[in-house]
Every structure is written in C-alpha cells, then in structure tokens.
Amino acid sequence: MTDKLFSGVSRRSFLKTTAAVAGTIGAGKITGFPYVSSARAQEAKTLRYLGTAVNQSKEIADKVKEDLGITIEYVPVTTDEVTKRIITQPNTFDIVDTEYFSLKKFVPSGNLMGMDATKIKEFDNITPVFTKGEIGGKKIGDQGTAPWEVLYLKENKSKEFATEPTQWISLIPTTYNADTLGIRPDLIGRPIESWSELLNPEFKGKASILNIPSIGIMDAAMAIEATGKYKYPDKGNMTRDEIDMTIATLIEAKQAGQFRALWSDFNESVNLMSSGEVVIQSMWSPAVTAVRGKGIDCVFQPLKEGYRAWASGFALPATLEGPKLDAAYEFVNWFLSGWAGAFLNRQGYYSGVLPTAKAAMEPYEWAYWMEGKEAEQDIKSPSGETIALKGAKRDGGSYEERMGAVACWNAVMDEDAYMVRKWNEFVAA
C-alpha cells in the first residue's frame, strides 16, 4: 500500500504537499509562510464552472488564464444535470452557467445568491432585452419565462423575485438566441414561411421535433397556433386543457406518420438533417452551422410567427465567500468586457453586453453577425472554419430583427409534472 502511494509521486514532493496541507489546516493565521499562502491564493484562483459543454470553450478558459491568472475548471454536464446539481449538490461548483427559465425552480431553493449589480462594471451596458424586455425601444414577446421578469431578486440571498429593479441580479446574461425551424431548402424546393409547415402532411415522415418535453411542447404550440387551430394566451404556461389539446394534436400527427424521429441531443439533430432523413425540424443555431460545415445546404428559417428564444447566464452558489467570491466577480467582469462576447457572437449566439463585444470584433464581422449585412469577406467561426462566404447574409437578418421577433421564451410551466406525463403519452402513442 505504502509503496504504491509513493510510486508516481516522488517521496519528497509528497511530504511537501502533506506538510503544506497540514500547515493550511493547523496554521490558521500564521503569516510569513509563503508556501501556504500561495497555495491558498492558487486555490482561490480556481473556479469550478458548471454548465453544458456547448458554452464551455477551451479558448475562453485559456484566455481567462492569460488575462486574469484564474484557472477555469469546467464541469461539463447536460442541461438536466445542471439543474439537478444546483438543487442537490450546490457545493460542487463555484459558478454556474444556466438558463433563465429554470430560475423559478432554483430561486425558492435558496441555493443560489443574487449578484451585486454595483460590482458588475458593465451592468448598465447590459442589453435592454434583459433589463427592460425591449429592443430598439420596442417591446419583445413575453410569453413563457421572459428573462426580465426573473432578473431581480429582493435581496442578496432572497428566495423571492423582485418586481422592481433592485441591486441583486439572479443571473448575469452570457448567451441568448432566437430559435426557429431548420430546413433543407434543396430537398423542399419551395419557400417555407410558417411554423405550421412542421405539421404539414406534405412532409409526412420527413419532419422531426425535439424530445425535450418543455421545449418540444412550445415548438408544437408555435406550429398549432400557426395553423389557426387555437390561440394560446401563454404558450409557456399552459392550462391542463391546453396541454391535453396540444398533445392530442401531436399524437394525431405522429400516428399519421408525420415524424421520422424525435431528437434529444444536438448531434442527433445534425445527423437527421445531414443524412436527409428529415427535411424540416426544430433546430438550434449551432446545429445548423454544423450541417452547413459538412457542405450541405441547411437554413435556420425565419418564420412569420416569430422565434422561440432562450437565454442563459451566470449565477453563484449561495455559500460562495471570501477570495473565491472575489475571483468569481473578477471572472464575470472579464466575461462582459468584450473578448468572450465577440467569441460568442462569432458562434451565432448573442452576448449580454454588446458595446464591448463590438469593440473586440472586426467591423465586417459585426456587420454580418449583428447588422444583417452582406459579408464583405468570408466569415470564419472562432475555430477558423469558413461558415459563410463573401456576399452571404445571416438567416433572419439583424440582431434587432431577430430578437425583436421573439414570440415566446423557454419556460417551466406551473403544470410541469402533468405536462411531462402527457409528453410520455405522446412518445408511447
């Protein structure tokens, strides 16, 4: 046993570490013991970053290390697992990247704390999409869990949302986007303008919807509303009757053979689309980019009924304190200061603070991604692949056109449990 312990690590370094650990535990406030204090500083400079792999780019972590000396330790898990961790193991991360719609469930648990807006340098520059629900002075659709309704907390460690702006912010926005249907124009051969096409029998056996109940049901609702069958007061918070009707419509379509498959992760949606199994489906922006990256024509089709939007942001566990807390604020401030924002914008997402991101991007990039203008030269992704040729325009146009046309936001319904049960019925039908 002892032999094994020492193989690999040299005995000397092992003893050193032991001494340091013992020192940390026993010494308390003794100063003039440089090894211990630097070890502690090092510990404070490491942040365990919980989130989905999609937002955890190595480039960002490398840049943070270079600029701030903070080590970002990614904890990449699925969206569901993020939720589970926050509820059941809030001490296993130092900062979390999660979605606004989950807040209605997190905040009452008291496991997260509000962030102090006065310590966020760029807070006043955060896009009014989050703070007021406006874009260019125009109101944005507020069905579902709209971010501005859950942005403010009553106090630092409050379990309640505030209706008026306060100093305490539930989530500091990182990325957000407006989702729509992805299509294969080469296989469809005619213009697609409405969500109702998802349920159009013309695409029987060639349509797909995502199998994440809370999001899938909203895509279904967008389609049902577009057919003129029913107008939902709030697609993001349906009554039991509305859920019943929506699921019944889906079951009818499924039994008529409308859906080729359902998908539940990013790669599945890419494969369905690129293999030609499916020509129209719920999709996410980077998945469309991935299909295009294979040289296949795929469009993130803007539709007249508008988009279903989502937004995610940073939150801190309620127990974070001391140097770690300072490091977390330092990291968040860095994140909003431009480099990361430009990185995200180049992936087709939007960043929370636009002026700093603009300063960090080339003017032609900004014109393509944010102003909906023709690309003056080839557009490259952050990893260097060409994703749009010179002269191309972004699907859906400018930031204001896309975010301004949001119809609803990802949400958690009051009748969540019932909805999940009904969704299982759809899958089993």
Partner 1 sequence: MSTRVGIAPYLQALPLALVFFLFLVIPLVFILVVSFWTYENYSIQPAFVVQNYMDVFDRCIVRLPDLCTTFKTYLSTLYFCVIVWVLTLLIGFTVAYFLAFEVRSKAVQSVLFLVCTIPFWTSNVIRMISWIPLLGREGLVNQTLQNIGAIDMPLDWLLYSKFSVTITFVHLFTFFMVVPIYNSMLRIDRSLIEAARDAGATGWQTLTNVIIPLSKTGIAIGSIFVVTIVMGDFITIGLMGGQQIASVGKTISVEISYLQFPIAAANAVVLLLTVLIMIFALTRVVDIRKEL
Q: Contact positions toward partner 1, by CB under 8 A?
A: 80, 83-84, 87, 104-106, 108-109, 205, 211, 213-214, 254, 259-264, 271, 275-277, 416-417, 420-421, 423-425, 427-429
CB of 277 to partner 1, least distance (A): 6
Question: Cα angle vertex 222, ends 197, 412, to 5°?
Answer: 145
Contact call for residues 392 and 399 (beta carbons, < 8 A): no
**Of 108 and 165, CB closest to partner 1:** 108
**Of 329 and 426, CB closest to partner 1:** 426
**Of 1 and 428, CB closest to partner 1:** 428
Contact call for residues 113 and 320 (beta carbons, < 8 A): yes
CB of 176 to partner 1, least distance (A): 22
CB of 335 to partner 1, least distance (A): 27
**Of 38 and 424, CB closest to partner 1:** 424
Residues 6 or more apart in contact with residue 341 via CB below 8 angstroms? 335, 351, 352, 353, 354, 356, 357, 360
CB of 229 to partner 1, least distance (A): 22
**Of 139 and 204, CB closest to partner 1:** 204
* Terminal C-alpha separation, the chain: 57
Residues 6 or more apart in contact with residue 295 via CB below 8 angstroms? none
**Of 244 and 401, CB closest to partner 1:** 244
CB of 364 to partner 1, least distance (A): 38
- To which H or E segment does residue 21 belong? helix 11-27
How many residues does the structure list for the chain? 429
Residues 6 or more apart in contact with residue 88 via CB below 8 angstroms? none
**Of 108 and 128, CB closest to partner 1:** 108
Residues 138-158 as b/e (b if ≥16 CB within 10 A, e otherwise) read eebbbbbbbbbbbbbbbeeeb
CB of 187 to partner 1, least distance (A): 11
CB of 297 to partner 1, least distance (A): 15
